[in-house]
Amino acid sequence: MHKKSLAWRIRLLFTASLSLVFSSSAFAEADPKLWPVLKEAYFAKREMQEVDFIKIDAPARAESGAQVPITYKINSTAANGVVVKKLYTFVDGNPIPLTATFHLTQALGLAKSGDFELSTRIRFETDAYVHLVAETEEGQLYLASREIRASGGCGSTDNSDEAAIRAAVGKIKFKVDEPVKLGSPATTAFNIKHIMRTGLQRDAATQGYYPAFYIKKIAFTFNSQPLLNVDVGVGTSEDPYFKFNFVPEAVGKLAVTATDNEGKAFVSEIEVKAN
Residue extents of the structural domains in the chain: 46-272
Give the model's pLDDT for residue 3: 47
| CB atoms closer than 10 angstroms to residue 33 | 7
Cα distance between residue 228 and residue 24, in whole Å: 39
Give the model's pLDDT for residue 14: 47
- Angle among Cα 26, 30, 36 to the nearest 5 degrees reads 100
Residues sharing a CB contact under 8 Å with residue 250, sequence separation 6 or more, in sequence order: 182, 223
Label residue 211 exposed, middle or buried (CB < 10 Å: 0-12, 13-18, 19+).
exposed
Q: Which helix (H) or strand (E) holds 202?
A: strand 202-203
Q: Given pLDDT bands bounded at 50, 70 and 90, which one contains residue 18?
A: very low
Q: Bigger pLDDT: 55 or 29?
A: 55
Q: Given pLDDT bands bounded at 50, 70 and 90, which one contains residue 11?
A: very low
Residue pair 161/71 in contact (Cβ under 8 Å)? The answer is no
Q: Which of 12-26, 39-53, 235-249 has the lowest mean pLDDT?
A: 12-26
CATH 2.60.40.10 given to domain 46-272: yes
Taking only the tens place, the pLDDT of each residue in 98-147 is 999 999 998 898 866 668 999 999 999 889 999 999 999 999 999 999 99
Taking only the tens place, the pLDDT of each residue in 195-233 is 998 888 777 777 788 889 999 999 999 999 999 999 999
What is the share, in percent, of the chain residues with pLDDT greater than 90?
64
Compute the average pLDDT of residues 50-70.
Answer: 92
Cα distance between residue 266 and residue 220, in whole Å: 12
Compute the average pLDDT of residues 230-239.
Answer: 95
Estimate the crossing angle of helix 3-23 against helix 34-43, to 10 degrees: 160
Residue 21 has pLDDT above 50, yes or no: no
Residue 84 has pLDDT above 50, yes or no: yes
Give the model's pLDDT for residue 269: 97
Give the model's pLDDT for residue 263: 95
DSSP string, 65-120: TT-EEEEEEEEHHHHTT--EEEEEEEETTSSS-EEEEEEE-GGG-HHHHSEEEEEE
Cα distance between residue 207 and residue 236, in whole Å: 24
Q: What does pTM read for this prediction? A: 0.87
Q: Which helix (H) or strand (E) holds 207?
A: none
